Structure 1
Amino acid sequence: MNVSVCLAAILFILMVLIGGKKGARSFFALFLNFGVLLITIIIMTIPNTNPIILTLIACTVISCINLFYINDINSKTKTAFISTMITIVILLFFIVITTNKAMIQGFGEEEVEEIGMFSLYIGVDFVKIGAAVIIMSAIGSIADVAISISSSMREVFNHHPLISRKDLFSFGLSIGRDILGTDTNTLFFAFFGGYLGLLIWFKDLSYSFGEIINSKVFSAEMINILCAGIGVALIIPITAWINAYFLVKIRDK
């Protein structure tokens, strides 16, 4: 039994002990999401495939797994799903424009040696591939914020059923502000944790600060973080408004 299997077993036991059935579902959702990403990557390598459309389909499936499979189908997950998809569509248009203008698609000079033996003429649009990568990196955080806000607003509404739509929306924004700082920092430190080796390599190559900032690899990852952070910021008012609208509408009926 290798280390990965041991760690997976420990994670599964802890998730079941702490989360019960929902914890077990969350564990199996990891493998379902991995399967979706793997299939998406395989299909993306097929020539003339549109990565943007494929990414939207993959994000929809991943959102269904993370929201409906783990938390069941209810009013909280429905509004979180709608908010997530609206945010993804808005963010996707923004990311495609940003990726095209920043010209971060393709590979940096630091990666040329590793891929020198392969052919780069594979018939795929690297601009769209770059946009797809950023969206895939952000979908988890966006869905997480959506369900957190939706669940909190539902609890407040259950305890204060006569609350006004404006006050409910303000409460959702208040919850979102608390989540915003921690989630953006999580994205930031995930980058430095994953690319610590790259930063050390930059130091060994005696890169100046300007060369590091202008490096395609570094720029691509920073744009990735910033776009994901924008998505996390956008999902807060969208989820708060949709939840406030539907909860009050259901009460009035």
Structure 2
Amino acid sequence: MVVPESTDAGDDAMTVTMMLAFILLVLMVCIGGVKGFGAFISLWINFVIMIAMLVMINFGFNAVIVLLIGGVLLLLVTILSAGADDEITSITMGASFIVMVALIILMLPAEYLNLAQGFAEENSEELEGLSLSIGLNFVSIGLVAAVVATLGAIAEASIAVTAGTYELIEHNPKMTATEIFKTGSQLGYQIVGTAVNTVLFGFMADFLSLGVWYAKLDYALGDIINSKLFVSTMLSMIYAILGVILVLPVSLGLIVWQHRRRHEST
């Protein structure tokens, strides 16, 4: 006789998740007010967008096209939730989209060459007895996962750089384009440095359990470097750092271009 598995663990996990989500909502509303509530709603909207991207890729839609459309929507929701004015929002959106496209162009050959797609040896026990013929291109899936993982850091860094630079321009509207770029760069270095540290800390948190796994199984350094899980995690971190770094010159370039257009029109 087969005894059905208990669902108590799943119910408990769902209860804890809902409690934490409610606590997050209360804190965001108390600290951020209406903007905090909007940011909380944007989290769930982004979650729905990512689920929709997953379903569309599973149904056989071109992964790159789904990535471009879904990426734009994710950036749009994230940037609009910041509550900035129209000019800052448009520049931030433009800079984030340019960086996203640049990363996709960079990632396409990198994902084909690194051979880190698909399931790793560490997944063999969980996948035993299951078919891996899912009819999807693992390179495309890896590309989508890598880009989506970088979008949050790109959007946040672009918003911070753009909003900070415009604050400086408001205090000194007679700044030249060269002065704007130079002053914005000094501000951006600090913002980018903080964002890079955030990405690095996230990587270390993700790698902690994997590092313990490698240590317990006495992996040699060569085995670790050639492990699919390690390579894919490391590449995701590098992509995110590159995206954050590229945001600074692209955002400042668009700000300077917009500043020149405004002065030429007047």
TM-score scaled by length of structure 2:
0.90
Deviates more, 1:182-191 or 1:95-104: 182-191
Q: How does 1:165-176 map to 2 (within 5 A)?
A: 165-176=177-188
Q: Does 1:12 align with 2:29?
A: no
1:182 alignment partner in structure 2? 194
Partner of 2:174: helix, strand, or coil?
coil
2:52 alignment partner in structure 1? 39
Amino acid at match of 1:129: I
Would you say the 8 A contact 2:224–2:230 is kept in 1? yes
| Alpha-carbon distance in 2 for matches of 1:70, 1:180 | 18
| Alpha-carbon distance in 1 for matches of 2:174, 2:264 | 10
2:260 alignment partner in structure 1? 248
Q: Provide the aligned C-alpha RMSD in A.
A: 1.5
Would you say the 8 A contact 1:191–1:221 is kept in 2? yes
Q: How does 1:30-179 map to 2 (within 5 A)?
A: 30-47=43-60, 49-71=61-83, 74-179=86-191
Deviates more, 1:167-176 or 1:102-111: 167-176
| Alpha-carbon distance in 2 for matches of 1:251, 1:22 | 32
1:216 alignment partner in structure 2? 228
Would you say the 8 A contact 2:111–2:142 is kept in 1? yes
String of CA shifts for 1:87-132, please: whole Å, max 9, x gaps: 1001101011111111111111111221223221122111111111
Runs of 4+ in 1 over 6 A off after TM superposition: none
TM-score scaled by length of structure 1:
0.95
The offset of 1:12, in angstroms, is: 1.2
Partner of 1:107: helix, strand, or coil?
coil
Q: How does 1:191-230 map to 2 (within 5 A)?
A: 191-230=203-242
Amino acid at match of 1:41: L
The offset of 1:72, in angstroms, is: 5.4
| Alpha-carbon distance in 2 for matches of 1:184, 1:60 | 22
Instruction: Please list every run of 5 or more consecutive structure 1 residues that lacks an aligned counterpart in the other structure.
Output: none
| Alpha-carbon distance in 1 for matches of 2:22, 2:263 | 45
| Alpha-carbon distance in 1 for matches of 2:85, 2:73 | 14
Structure index of larger Rg: 2
Q: Does 1:3 align with 2:16?
A: yes
Would you say the 8 A contact 1:29–1:70 is kept in 2? no
The offset of 1:209, in angstroms, is: 2.0
The offset of 1:207, in angstroms, is: 0.6
State how many pairs are aligned.
252
Partner of 2:130: helix, strand, or coil?
coil
Would you say the 8 A contact 2:35–2:81 is kept in 1? no
The offset of 1:73, in angstroms, is: 5.6
Instruction: Please list every run of 5 or more consecutive structure 2 residues that lacks an aligned counterpart in the other structure.
Output: 1-13
**Percent identity over the alignment?**
30
